[in-house]
Structure 1
Amino acid sequence: MKNLKNLAKKVFAFSIVLLTLFVIPFNNSFADTFYKNEINVKINKDGSADVESIMDFEPSKGTEYYIPIENLGKSEILNYDVSEIIEGKEVPYETLKTWNVKQSREQKAKKAGVVKTKNGYELCFGFGEYQRKTFVLRYRVTNFVKLLKDSDMVYWQFVNKGLNSAPQEVKITISKAEGKFDNSNSKIWAFGNKGKIEFLDGKIVFNSLTGLSSSNYVTILTQINKGEFTSGETINKDFSYYQDLAFKGSDYKKPDTKNKLFKNIMIFVVTPIIVFGAIITILFLRKKKGYSKGDFKGEYYRDIPEKEWWKLSYILENAGFDGNEAIFRAYFLKWIQAKRLIPITEEKGRIFKKEVLALKINEDAPKQFDNKIEEKFYSMVVGASQGDRILQENEFSKYLEDEFKQHRFEELSEELDNLSIDYARKNDFFEKKESGEWTEKYNDRGNEFVARLIKYYNYLKDFSLLSEREISEIKVWKELLIYATLYDVADAVEEQLSKLSPELLNNIDVDLNSFHTGVVYSDVFTNNFVDAYSSNVSNYSDGDGEYSSIGGGGDSFGGGDGGGTR
């Protein structure tokens, strides 16, 4: 009986422990959920803007919500207040003159305040209970409009990159207190995510098309005719200066309006100077973020840096190599080597026939993929080949005319970058802020890995310096050839291999003809794929409104990096 009582006590105690473990922490263990962010901006005649940000948000951790706003120029944030919508009515929060970040969640509940930082502001409020609520933030931005030499401008980041919970849906509406916006007085572009920007009912309206991730942001650039606003921040620059900054790294292209003589001057005189200056600038900036191609001359690393090479797009691009394009190129080579894609030639044209390269989809090949991204990319290749399962040169161009397929390509590119950034974080390659948030600046461990990538590039680029004995001792030919394609130095490797005897090539299990064919076809079809996307979205740069660009929008005003619960 005594043993039975002891057993009952142990069972009861164990049950209490289970309840403690599985019930109590649940409130803090789930991730925050940001359902929707609707931002309404009214620009006043004096160039200031009244901003209303409506947040449908469910916190699960921390004591407050904060939004960094930096890069302000001569702008200031005034009249900040917060309210909560309860049963259809707005209930205002108490606005404090000073905000104490260190207070408890209960002390901050239903209060709001501003923290001044060395770079700008942090707009803060205490959300109280861990429940889904709708918050309304309002404030005024002075000098929101920038008065340039040739036109006026709004260039503002409305949703930050690096939010610890990015919104699933974003809508931004920009209106004028007097008059309207349309394509007779303005041009508009959007950056940082998959969305659409357009003129609607005298307003500029942006809508996201998919949920944002922590690497996304929302930046809007607007060129406005002179005379629409009476004041703002005066900047002694033309609009083209900011347009170039915004378009850098974007899908947008500036329209070609220059005459032929000017083109020739640019091509033969100015362009070399600009290119040289750009190269120097890029190299300098990359030094700040880590090593880049061209470093470690004469130094070599002889082992495969990472077997899962498809996780390296961001790291490769940051080091001066091709990014996503390199991964696409390597996938084509991989599929050709595995005979999943079979290189062939076809005749094209009714009267003047010419041979074009083509890839035949091998339906009998195993349908095994290393990850979902590879599977999605392969499905796009199959889709572009249409019903005959033969992908010809330039068939991607027709395939990517479809807007939905363009978005699939954008998603694919973004997933590759996110995969690469996650890989860097999991391997502790990036530094962290004091708050614990990741930066994208390499620490010593990250710099060491990038150095290995570059030294392995040097090894493949200088492959002609290897002796036959060194080549015969290589055990990882499959991965080596993939990396030669990633780095775009396959020609150097192939040239050296062509000097070897057939017996040695057979011993090291390298079919030089197949490799050459694979390299040629992977280059051609990757270029077709990327160029087809660029040509199909380039017409969106006229400023009349269309789809946003995932990249670009750099050096904007407002916004910042990070934010969310803390």
Structure 2
Amino acid sequence: MARRRCPPCAMGAVKGLLLRLLLPLLALLALAPASAATELRELDVRVLLNDDGSARIVQTWNARVSDEGTEFFIEQGNLGDMELSDFSVRELGGPPYVNEGTRWRTDRSAAEKAGRCGIVRTRGGLELCWGRGPAGPRTFVVSWTFSNFVKAYDDYDGFNVRLVNSGLSTPPRSLRITIEKPGRPFASGEVDLWAFGFRGTIRPEGGKIVARSDAPLSASNYATVMLRFAKGVFNPSSVVRGRFEAVEKRALEGTEDGEEDWDGIVAFLICILVALYHVVLGFVRKGRRARSPRFPHLPDGFGRTLRGAPYFREIPCGGDLSESWALLGATPFAARAKDLVGAYFLRWVQHGALEPVTGASGTALHVRGRAVPVGGGLFAMLREAAGPDGILQREEFPRWGRNEANRRAFGAWLEAERAAGMERFRARGGWELRTTTSFWVRRFLLGPRRPFSAPFVTSSGEQTLLELAGFRRYLQDFTLVNERRVVEVELWNDYLVFAALFGIGKELLRELVGLYPEFAARSVLAGAGGTLLPTVLDLSDSLTVSLSRRSGGGRYDSRSGGRSFGGGGGGSSGGGSRGGVR
């Protein structure tokens, strides 16, 4: 018997029915893996510091827990002389979990671990563990105490500690870290601060230090915080021989113990290749016109000469900030954008173009007038950022910095300041173009002894650089090389402006006020008790960081409030590279 065929219309109806049944099923299957994963929506970390340097760490995990795994854990390694105690876990609003101490067994079911916590000792340190409990929205409060968290060094007290691990199976979508000393707010100028390993900001807020992420963290991110305190804020039990400067240097270099940072190595090699490409390209381009250089050619060994430059007591470069800042790039000393901005802020306060006022959230700046004789491009940005009331509040900086056009304008202003400074240096006979055949790379690429033009610092320019370096040494050792003298308010105000340009403004003011208390009462830059200058520099740092922010991260100094470094934090204590759900 012949087989009966379905008519076309019937076939179409069957196909439509199958599609209507299968498409929702396929959609559910596609979503199943994503919905099954445990998600850490928010991670809030509080660090409560005690006078003896110990700290209570309180982490609040706002999570949506799935059925995967049986427990949460946090790796803690590289503890040094820090001892971990008083580990506790509870759910928000609930009683503490049963603490099994070091008897915790990882090879149990989720039901057996529910409502319980404990510690696993490993070869590298400890693992803090607790049962995940049933699936669904959960908020865990995890806390423990570290002894010897803050350490005493020869010059400062401080710490460099990893507070959130890399390698988390459930990296947080949002991170906030708050560091405080209960009952004792941090005053302006007492704390220098850095954060590493994530995109975000760190700054003083209401006597506390607060770090926040700008974007969800990935498994490669982490959160390391380094704080440096003036002596007298703490009385640490742990005393370390040496200067905190060594801790800073290692953290800023970004080297870490125990692991090879292959991403960093690859990036380093790529940078070398790109640099070589541009060097070769620059040599083979014929007829290239010379432009104002960032680093004119200096005699061999001149950098060592600058480090030991004799004291110079006059303000160099005729007091020109942009020229002095540009020349710092040709010396062994740092030429940072934040220092140039801070120096301009202080000069404008000194001349009345900026007026510190008390705002809703602390000290703010009243932008007065329409123009200034120096740094006008930046001043125009301040006027626009301040808005109709002319008051520049700290909280306005992040909003202003989110605008890409503002960031580009700030970058262009920095380049213009550098170029203008180098041009003034050239106009005063500091450098000149010379025709030479001595550079071996040029001869190798373009034939024997082919002449070309290159910038060279003149003998007059070398003297200017020696004066700049000598003046920096003079300010750095000001209270050591000067006998008791009559307070010269205006001259010392000028000194403070240049000290800010050299990155030592707070240090110089602290020494001046300590030796000459009357200077604080008479100086427009010092203010009552010497608190004004640190506050103004903190505000300028915040503005610089906001306008320096780049997509994809970056490495910006955040000593007095600002951006978290994208990497670095080497040599930190505590934490590790594992955690989450297992």
Normalising to structure 1: TM-score of the pair? Answer: 0.48
Normalising to structure 2: TM-score of the pair? Answer: 0.47
